[in-house]
Amino acid sequence: TLWKHTLTCTRDNPLACNNLGTALLDQGRADEAIVQYQKAVEIEPHGAMFHVYLGNALLQKKQADEAIVQFRKAIEIEPDQAVHHENLGDALLQKGQVDEAIAQFQKAIEIKPDKTGFHNSAAFHNNLGNALIRKGAVDEAMVHYRNAVEIEPANAAFHYNLANALIRK
């Protein structure tokens, strides 16, 4: 309601469109959310975050090709944002483009190698491990799963992935 009202009171407000999209997505209304994210991108085509939100919604709808376009645009605008490379890697992995996904996860780790703080590299290592598992590189995947567990020892998913890799080994 707030964001719909904001859009009736303002013109060309990409943040309001984006936030309305997020509210709609939270309600499971992905198609309507995508429309709002597209409006935000149209209003502010140089806003990387708007491309990211649109890409994530498209990826949720299994529209990986369209999501890849949005994530590449975000990288074009902000090439040094590790999370943009992670998002692109997720989309590429969903499409089965494992080698390309691996390269994007590696780039994310290269950009943000630090292992401390809220936005650390644990998820990048975990996702790289997932891609390596799909490629059959179990030993290399275990290295990255161990890194993820070391960085975030309370994350059960990271332990689970490491355990599965160890079972495969």
> Residue 134 belongs to what H/E stretch?
helix 122-135
Q: Is the CB of residue 162 less than 8 Å from the CB of residue 142? A: yes
Closest residue by Cα to residue 29 from 64, 4, 65: 4
DSSP state of 29: -
Q: Is the CB of residue 20 less than 8 Å from the CB of residue 3? A: yes
Model pLDDT, residue 3: 46
Low-confidence ranges of the chain (pLDDT < 50): 3, 5
pTM across the whole model: 0.89
Q: Is the CB of residue 108 less than 8 Å from the CB of residue 89? A: yes
Kindly report, residue by residue over 60-80, the tens digit of the pLDDT.
999 999 999 999 999 999 999
